[in-house]
Amino acid sequence: MNSAIHKAFNPEDFRREGHKLVDQLSTYLEDCLGGKPMPVLPPSDPDALAEYWKQQLNAPGFDLREFYATLIRQSNHLHHPRYMGHQVVPPAPLSALTELLEALLNNGMAIYEMGPASTAIERTVIQWLAVKMGFDHQADGILTSGGSAGNLTGLLAARQAMCGYNVWDEGNTASVPLAIMVSEEAHYSVSRAVRIMGWGEKGIVKVPVNARMQLDASALEAAFAEASGKGLKVIGVVGNACTTSTGTFDPLDKIADFAEAHGVWFHVDGAHGGAAALTAKYRHLTKGIERADSVVVDFHKMMLAPALTTAVLFKNGQHSGETFAQKAEYLLGSGQQKPWYDSAGRTLECTKKMMGVKVYAMLKLYGEELFSDYVTATFDMGQEMAKLTEPFSDVELAVDPDCNIVCFRCCPEGFKGDLNRLTAMVRQEIVKKADFYIVQTNIAGRIFLRITLMNPFTGENDLEALLGEVRATAVKLAGAFV
């Protein structure tokens, strides 16, 4: 056999390099958690970085540890307390180790024979989470690759269950065009799912939001009547738990009332905030989620797992098996009722990662308190950040935060220029300096700085430092408008 193949599979090489990598990552973790000064998002140019790696590929020799070190240096540092950018969790180290096991075993899970242990573990994880969402024993679900795939899966189930015929086999042949009602602040993946289903833009009925960027439940009836008047058949409504932009939770209970009154499907996009249902302090934000027909929750957002691990839950477990009612004889058999343990019949994926294993390991080793404590700690930080802004008349919150997403901006005293432009410049300057990583968002035509406090080791001193940096930078840059 080729010597390169022998070398690639050499157990001793794996053991030696594995120990070195764990040591390297442990030191990196210590540096991050200790708040060691470092560029949280290392400044880089996309073209230059691509050229660098192209040249490296063609350069002679290869030092594996230096490769790892370079990759670490050039990446976002999610475990650093001053990473406050996107909704990506700093994974618990155990979950990263478990992912190494998953990667080496590489059990594909399309059918039970391809991943027996991981299939059984996934079912256990799904049933545990369904109970936490308030569902009963009839609930079921599946793990899939991300919230976008999860929302599509839930809405495909809604279409199959509510359209009145076998749309999977017959296509979009309804005499009346189908539509889904969504908040104006719904994640773009919901709109994308509707387009993938072939309904086009007319299949998206947007419901206005209130001043807190929540779906305005009082506008549901009017939106439904208007859609019906245009010849649309509304088959479902989507609630946000929570919105991506501002982190506010829609009134799920009121949306559930509307869905039940009109006999339409109720889907909750709980990719980020659905995990609040596991906490005592913030569970009230998800009141009504237990009445949903389908729910999406990302373990890689607020439950400490590496990307991508998303749960799609169905209150009526049968809907999980009916979503993709498609024949694939060599994998699925010919029967109408597919067994729960052949997951290819219930997900977009055929080959699928062993997603539930890392969640199960964390649950067993640390208990579900790990998840509830993490959500509570990060949501508390959002409240703390809001309080820190109160003494400063030059700092404006977009909304009082529900969770760990906080949107704010600074208008220096006497400033008369374009505040949107100034806010964008402040963000650009902070990212360039790289002591913090933050992003920005557009809320009703106004630009705000947006932070998502994903790191449980972010402290009050980090929040105060960021606020001081933003205010000082705004004052410095305001002079450019004079």
- The pLDDT of residue 314: 97
Question: Could you report the per-residue pLDDT of 199-249, keeping only the tens digit for each?
Answer: 999 999 999 999 999 999 999 999 999 999 999 999 999 999 999 999 999
Helices (H), 308-440: 318-322, 329-332, 355-366, 369-389, 419-433
Among 398, 399, 381, 375, CA closest to 466: 381
Cis omega before residue 242 (within 30°)?
yes
Whether residue 335 is predicted with pLDDT greater than 50 in this model: the reply is no
Whether residue 328 is predicted with pLDDT greater than 60 in this model: the reply is no
Mean pLDDT of the residues in the chain: 93
- The pLDDT of residue 163: 85
Per-domain boundaries in the chain: 100-365, 369-481
Q: Kindly state the helix (H) or strand (E) to which residue 241 belongs, with its residue range.
A: none
Tokens of 179: 């539509």
Alpha-carbon dihedral of residues 162, 163, 164, 169, nearest 10 degrees? -120
- The pLDDT of residue 330: 42
Contact 418, 407 (CB under 8 A): no
Superfamily of domain 369-481: Aspartate Aminotransferase, domain 1 (3.90.1150.10)
Query: Model confidence at 482, in pLDDT bands (50, 70, 90)?
Result: low
- Considering the segment(s) 100-365 as one domain, its CATH architecture is 3-Layer(aba) Sandwich (3.40)
DSSP 13-38: HHHHHHHHHHHHHHHHHHHHHTT---
Query: Model confidence at 111, in pLDDT bands (50, 70, 90)?
Result: confident
Question: Could you report the per-residue pLDDT of 72-94, keeping only the tens digit for each?
Answer: 999 999 999 999 999 999 999 99
- The pLDDT of residue 343: 78
Q: Kindly state the helix (H) or strand (E) to which residue 476 belongs, with its residue range.
A: helix 460-478
Give the pTM. Answer: 0.94
Whether residue 327 is predicted with pLDDT greater than 50 in this model: the reply is no
DSSP 373: H
- The pLDDT of residue 176: 86
How far apart (Å, rounded) are the C-alpha atoms in residues 447 and 444?
8
Question: Could you report the per-residue pLDDT of 340-380, keeping only the tens digit for each?
Answer: 788 777 888 888 999 999 999 999 999 999 999 999 999 99
Three-state SS at 60: coil
Q: Do domains 100-365 and 369-481 have the same CATH topology?
A: no
How far apart (Å, rounded) are the C-alpha atoms in residues 461 and 458?
8
Three-state secondary structure readout of 93-114:
HHHHHHHHHHHHHCCCCCCHHH
How far apart (Å, rounded) are the C-alpha atoms in residues 183 and 219?
10
- The pLDDT of residue 62: 95
Question: Could you report the per-residue pLDDT of 241-270, keeping only the tens digit for each?
Answer: 999 999 999 999 999 999 999 999 999 999
